[in-house]
């Protein structure tokens, strides 16, 4: 596979790889490093990449495994918590702060979820993957995915309601 072919195949899902890495590693810098590492690994396999049925699924699985390995490694203690800022210049300052606060709370809640629920929620609700694609990526049955997704959504919803109703009543 030539460089132009490689770029045509890989670049469309590069952002998905980054978002998955960021969800797992939290730090933007760590996610950028992880994405770069995965791209380098993919490039090193460019000769055999044409044999893969779904390069995107392969790359996402590589990203997931790389990030989980990174978290397990000794470097995990050095990972820092850095949240991305949400910016939209067409909204009022108060709306911007509210959205930023809500996103921050959802991110914090998602970080507390069990690993499997976190992955399923990220892939389904953020990345918009179909259930069969998630099943292949995570090596899970569709019913298990639905259960994990339902539990993750319920936990996020309950914790958000709890946060917003704090002090009321």
In tens, the pLDDT along 48-73 reads 887 888 888 889 999 988 988 888 77
**CATH number of the domain bearing residue 106:** 1.10.10.10
Kindly give the interhelix angle for 3-10 and 55-72, rounded to the nearest 10 degrees: 80
Between residues 29 and 165, which one has the greater pLDDT?
29
Both 29 and 100 in one domain: the answer is no
pLDDT band at 32 (very low <50, low <70, confident <90, very high): very high
Both 124 and 71 in one domain: the answer is no
Both 107 and 159 in one domain: the answer is yes
Residues 46 and 66: their CA atoms lie apart, in Å, by: 18
Both 97 and 124 in one domain: the answer is yes
State what percent of residues in the chain have pLDDT above 90. 23
CB 24 within 8 A of CB 71: yes
Residue 87 lies in a domain: no
Predicted pLDDT of residue 151: 94
Residue 155 lies in a domain: yes
Own/partner long-range contacts of 39-47 (Cβ < 8 Å, ≥24 apart): 39/10, 39/14, 41/66, 42/6, 42/10, 43/6, 46/1, 46/6, 47/1
Residue 97 lies in a domain: yes
Q: Which domain holds residue 150?
A: 92-169
Q: Model pTM greater than 0.85?
A: no
Confidence check: pLDDT of 79 > 70: no
Both 64 and 104 in one domain: the answer is no
Predicted pLDDT of residue 80: 45
Both 69 and 113 in one domain: the answer is no
Residue 44 lies in a domain: yes
**CATH number of the domain bearing residue 73:** 1.10.1740
State what percent of residues in the chain have pLDDT above 70. 83
Residue 83 lies in a domain: no
Both 63 and 103 in one domain: the answer is no
Half-sphere exposure of residue 151, counting CA atoms within 13 Å on the CB side? Answer: 15
Over residues 93-144, the pLDDT tens digits come to 776 777 777 778 888 888 889 999 998 988 888 888 889 889 988 999 999 9
Predicted pLDDT of residue 75: 52
Both 45 and 106 in one domain: the answer is no
Predicted pLDDT of residue 86: 41
Both 97 and 68 in one domain: the answer is no
| Number of folded domains that form the chain | 2
Percentages (nearest 5) of helix, strand, coil residues in the chain: 75, 0, 25
pLDDT band at 163 (very low <50, low <70, confident <90, very high): confident
Number of neighbouring beta carbons within 10 Å of residue 153: 15
């Amino acid at each position: 596979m030539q460089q132009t072919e490689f770029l045509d195949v890989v670049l469309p899902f590069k952002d998905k790889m980054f978002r998955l890495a960021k969800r797992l590693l939290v730090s933007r810098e760590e996610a950028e490093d992880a994405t770069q590492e995965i791209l380098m690994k993919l490039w090193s396999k460019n000769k055999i990449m044409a044999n893969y049925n779904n390069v995107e699924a392969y790359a996402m699985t590589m990203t997931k495994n790389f990030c989980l390995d990174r978290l397990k490694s000794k470097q995990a203690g050095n990972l820092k918590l850095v949240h991305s800022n949400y910016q939209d210049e067409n909204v009022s300052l108060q709306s911007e702060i509210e959205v930023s606060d809500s996103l921050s709370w959802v991110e914090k809640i998602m970080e507390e979820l069990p690993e499997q629920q976190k992955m399923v929620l990220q892939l389904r609700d953020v990345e918009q993957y179909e259930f069969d694609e998630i099943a292949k990526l995570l090596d899970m049955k569709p019913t298990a995915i639905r259960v994990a997704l339902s539990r993750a959504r319920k936990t996020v919803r309950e914790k958000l309601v709890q946060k917003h109703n704090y002090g009321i009543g």
